[in-house]
Homo-oligomer: A and B are copies of this chain.
């Protein structure tokens, strides 16, 4: 067997449909609620700023949703993403486990975010939208959307949290190279931005960047809002990852006992894990789906399944999700994509049903695992992905102890070539692991809104 597994040459190199796990759940996840009335939110607000096709996907209960040809055409530039057998890592660990990884770094912006950026830009263009606006935290999502918008001749504007914007000038250039306009948030371009600046806020926050982006979408008829994670249609689009992995495992004549990804908003874990859960449901498979989060932001392992706001300001609708409380501000760890107080409501519901396990890992352990992976497998992963690597190594080491010959699949969501400052800090010994005490956590959870189920 080759170490790199591709699809066969029968033409089906990428999946033709996205997999909608909602079809296989006992009920739909609880819909969003109005932040003032606590009643089910009307779709009015969302409808005015989002593409209709995407909202329809979010509400869909069909098991399979067709991928438009013009999206598949763009996907095919880098999909299927490779699935590798990690033979050198296995050898170094001396494990009886078979370790596989699927790698989402070989695409135009180097992370799995491109998988949802492309359909979001496509549907918006189809509906006559001339411009997409979004917010970005770590910057990977902004770059992916900038790329995708250029593919469909849609303008792109990105509101980027001031502190990250200042720290990462090069990611801004990547977005600009694709033709996007990047605003440092708080910006002068919106009412919310000007108000924040007037109130002395210069660093911004994800919540504020969201407000700025939504304001632009709401006040311009030709403009829609795009999202990089969290919502159902994003997880739906990412299911190309898990579907390809299934086909690649079939080629390898193997099947994973456990599949692992990191969790921030939840799109990479959903994308990898849901197609395997479908096999558990339909074919009695017993693959364990494992989410890995940072100990600094332990939403699934120590958070509560409760109604909460999506943003820190509390302006947005309430959703039922695993959360640390919307006022939670994690330590400034380097896996910026994992610093979110909640998790996608869809993934949260699946977790609530007991279909997904979760563990937390401290960032220094993850960087150590990331370097071990780079030196054996040759790929320097994003700090986010290093969380999955750390958990996969743990799993393989348990196999060494027990002698279990498990097949382990981890998702490497992107490359780390735009995160080298973080690896530099780790190599220089400047990173520490912040402990979140029970008292701290309780104080955030105490500020959850009181909503009756």
Contacts and interface: CB of A to CB of B under 8 A. Distances in A.
Interface of A: 2-4, 6, 8-9, 13, 73-74, 76-78, 82, 84, 88, 106-108, 110, 147, 150-151, 169-171, 173-174, 176-179, 371, 374-376, 378-380, 416-418, 420-421, 423-424, 427
A363 B307 CA distance: 55
Given A3-B77, A106-B78, A380-B108, A170 B375 contact: no
Contacts of A416: 177
Question: Which 7 pairs of residues, A with B, have the shortest CB-CB distance?
Answer: A170-B420, A106-B106, A173-B420, A9-B9, A173-B424, A108-B378, A150-B375
A3 B3 CA distance: 25
Contacts of A374: 150, 177-178
A177 B427 contact: yes
Contact of A376 (B2, B73, B150): B150
A170 B379 contact: no
Nearest to A72: B2
A385 to B, nearest CB: 14
Contacts of A88: 151
A13 B82 CA distance: 14
A177 to B, nearest CB: 5
Contacts of A84: 77
Contacts of A3: 73, 76-77
B2 A76 contact: yes
B420 A174 contact: yes
Nearest to A418: B417
A179 B375 contact: yes
A245 to B, nearest CB: 17
Contact of A174 (B8, B147, B417): B417
A122 to B, nearest CB: 13
A108 B379 CA distance: 5
Given A150-B375, A170-B421, 12 more contacts: A3-B77, A106-B106, A106-B107, A147-B378, A150-B378, A171-B420, A173-B420, A173-B423, A176-B424, A177-B374, A178-B374, A417-B418
A96 B76 CA distance: 24
A427 B417 CA distance: 22
| Residue of A169, A177, A420, A427 ringed by the most chain B CB atoms within 10 A | A177
Contacts of A4: 76-77
A423 B33 CA distance: 45
A427 B180 CA distance: 12
A378 B77 contact: yes
| Residue of A6, A380, A418 ringed by the most chain B CB atoms within 10 A | A380
Contacts of A380: 108, 174, 177-178
A74 B178 CA distance: 32
A110 B417 CA distance: 9
Contacts of A169: 420, 424
Contacts of A427: 173, 176-177
| Residue of A169, A376, A417 ringed by the most chain B CB atoms within 10 A | A417
Nearest to A425: B173
5 contacts: A88-B151, A173-B420, A173-B423, A173-B424, A417-B417
A381 to B, nearest CB: 10
